[in-house]
Every structure is written in C-alpha cells, then in structure tokens.
Amino acid sequence: MKKTKSKVAFRKNSTIELVASPASVAPIEFDSVVAMIESSRTKALVAVNTVLIDLYWEIGRYISDKITKDGWGKGVVQQLSDYIQHHQPTSMGFSASNLWRMSQFYQTYCKKPVLAALLRELPWTHNLLILGRCKRDQEREFYLTTTIEQKWSSRELERQIDGLLFERTLVAKPKLSPLVRELHRDADSQFKSSYLVEFLDLPPLYSEADLEGGLIQHMTKFLVELGRDFCFVGRQYPVQVGNQDFAIDLLFFNRALGALVAFELKTERFKPEFLGKLEFYLEALDRDVRKPHEQPSIGVLLCATSDSQVVEYSLSRSMSPAMVAAYETKMPDKSLLKAKLHEFYEQAISDRPTNQSVEPESTGKLSKAPSIKRPPTNKVTEKPKRSTKNATKRK
C-alpha cells in the first residue's frame, strides 16, 4: 500500500503569522454573560406578561361597557370571538368563554386598585384560578400576595387553594413561644400552625422513621410547603454534648430570619415533655453550630395532632424559641374549616365597636395581606464553639 505525503500549499509571498492560543479562561469569568442573558429573558417574559394582562384588562373593560350600555349578550360575544379568529388566526386565547372571563376579570377588580396592581405580576392562568376559586376580596388578596412572594406554579397554587391555606391561616395562627416573637419579629409570616403533607402517601400505620423518610424523599415538595426562604441542611444532624452523641431529625436554615430551624418529628399527640428535648437541641445548636452572624436557632415540634390549650400552657413559660405545629396527611375537611371561618367572622363582628359596621362578605375595603419581610439585623452575642462530630441518634 502506497503512503501519500500530505502537502500544504502556500501562496507566493504570503506571510505566515503564528498566533499563540489564549490561555484557558476559568468558567466563572463567563458566568456574568450567562447571568445577563438569563436576566434579559426574565425581564422579557415579565414585560410580555404585563402587556398581555393589560390587554385582557382593556378587552374586559370594553366588553363590560358594551354589556352595560348596548346590552351585549353571549351571542354578540361569540360573534366577536369568531371575528377575532378570522382576522387574527394566529392569536390564541380569544374564545367566547375566555372573553367572558376577561369581562369578569375587569368587573371584579376595576374598583380595587391595590389588587389590580398585583394582577400584572402573575400569569393569566394564576389569575383565572384565583378569580374562579376565591369568593372574598381578602381571600383573593391573600393568594395574590402569597403566590407572588412564594413564586408558586399554577399547580402549586391550585394545591394550596384545595388545601384551604387561607382558611387555615386565618383560623389558626402559628403556636409560637413568646421568645420566638421577641427574637424574630417576623416569625409569624414564616411558620404555619399546620403543614399539609398529603404527598407522602403514608400507610395507615407508620413510624417516625417512615415520616422522616417520606419527607426526605419528597423534600422538594416539603420545601415548597414550608416556604421559599427555607433551605434544607440535613437529616439526623449530629450534635455532641459532653461525651454523648445526639441527632436532630431535620435541620433547616431560614434566610428571612437568618436562623437555623430544627424540626423534631412526632407521630403522636403533642405532650409537654416533648419540649424538653427540643430546648436541649436548640441550646446545642446555638453553642456549637450557629455562626456568629446568625440569629438564635428556632425549634419546631411537628406532631400528628395537638390540643391548643395544652400547647398554649406549655409554650407560655418556655424559655426557648420553640413552636408546635401539626402535619396533615390528608386534605382538610372543607365543611369543618368553613364553619370555623364563619365563627371567626362572627367573632370579629362582635368584637368591633358598635358604631362600626362589618360584614363577613367583602365590603370593598382591602385588608393588608400577609407578607414576608426581612428582619432587622440584631447583634447576637457570640457563644463559645465546640467541635461537632458525627454521631448516631439516641432517643
């Protein structure tokens, strides 16, 4: 077999210029360009959504005016839908039913400027869910504000509405010890009285290990349920005190509060003695784990059920920043929560001065929606550090 020599032809009088290959650049230097691209895309999507919501608002206004002044009905709106599809065949979302929703959208919020400003921060699908599923202004404001803060997907928003988060939040406030509110002014906005974990699909009889394993397996969903500012640190987190080893069931960090949050899991009814172990863990975290710039750690006893009066008595003189919450493995009973909500409104009416008129249904006045605020930066006294070693849990 003949070997052929490769030849390179050069033009006459041409000069060959050798260029040194550039030194390898660290990928971190390219991250700023990628961040610019992602930021621009996000801004573009937000701008498009704002324009789209404004368009639906103006169409809703136009149809509402025609209904009032010219007596438009379903037949005319259907003709309008056909006309749009004929002249704008590539435009989607202008069916007769959607045009009616635009009219309802405008009529619901046209006299509520505070709520109207929030609408432009959510996609149309989210707005339709809140519009169709929420009956009171206060409820709509709650879901609008919370969805924006937590950045829920439409599926998660629907789950929270199905789980009656508004009713649960209004009827039962978080059960916090006085020290939690003293150390963390915004703790109420970061915790719930109960957490919905129906996604665990636990068997009828299950252990604490089953509960913990289920939460670990579905940690992404559990973090969404906890809130956007929670970050997972670890399970069976080891702490050493003296010559003994202990472990915390689940450890999180809350960015808004700037504090570690220890979760102790109980598959039974709350008992006052549970607080002793939790307080011990909090002391160990603050002495040996907490960083100097972090706020005092918070403990959460997550129990199957609890007696509110027993919890109140137990927490009233607690010297640790602790709280008690329940977990619910099934969707809450709607009729029961609705009844409790009715009692709440009745109580609110009876507690008002006689010269003020308050009704359970919306009066058109907007109440302040719950919001997540950044806590003030308080100086925390640094405590001596101890070494933390790997350990197995003793209970």
Q: For 94-135, write each residue's pLDDT tens digit.
A: 999 999 999 999 999 999 999 998 999 999 999 999 999 999
CB 180 within 8 A of CB 301: no
The per-residue pLDDT for 370 is: 38
Tens digits of per-residue pLDDT, 217-250? Answer: 999 999 999 999 999 999 999 999 999 999 999 9
The model's confidence at residue 290, banded by pLDDT at 50, 70 and 90, is very high
Is the predicted pLDDT of residue 184 greater than 60, yes or no?
Answer: yes
Is the predicted pLDDT of residue 269 greater than 60, yes or no?
Answer: yes
Overall fold of domain 34-163:
Arc Repressor Mutant, subunit A (1.10.10)
Helix (H) or strand (E) holding 141: helix 137-150
Higher pLDDT, 301 or 46: 301
- The single-letter DSSP state of residue 2 is P
Amino acid at 151: K
Crossing angle for the helix pair 96-109 and 124-133, nearest 10 degrees? 70
Locate the domains of the chain by residue range. 34-163, 167-335
The model's confidence at residue 359, banded by pLDDT at 50, 70 and 90, is very low
Tens digits of per-residue pLDDT, 323-358? Answer: 999 999 998 877 766 676 666 666 666 666 655 544
Is the predicted pLDDT of residue 78 greater than 60, yes or no?
Answer: yes
The model's confidence at residue 17, banded by pLDDT at 50, 70 and 90, is low
Amino acid at 64: S
Higher pLDDT, 251 or 9: 251
- The phi-psi region of residue 166 (left if phi > 0; otherwise alpha if psi is between -120 and 50; otherwise beta) is alpha
CB 360 within 8 A of CB 342: yes
The per-residue pLDDT for 236 is: 97
- Taking the C-alpha atoms of residue 255 and residue 89, their distance in angstroms, rounded to an integer, is 48
Q: What angle do CA 201, 195, 321 make, to 5 degrees?
A: 135
* Predicted TM-score (pTM) of this structure: 0.74
Tens digits of per-residue pLDDT, 198-217? Answer: 999 898 899 999 999 999 99
- Could you confirm whether domain 167-335 is CATH 2.30.30.110? no
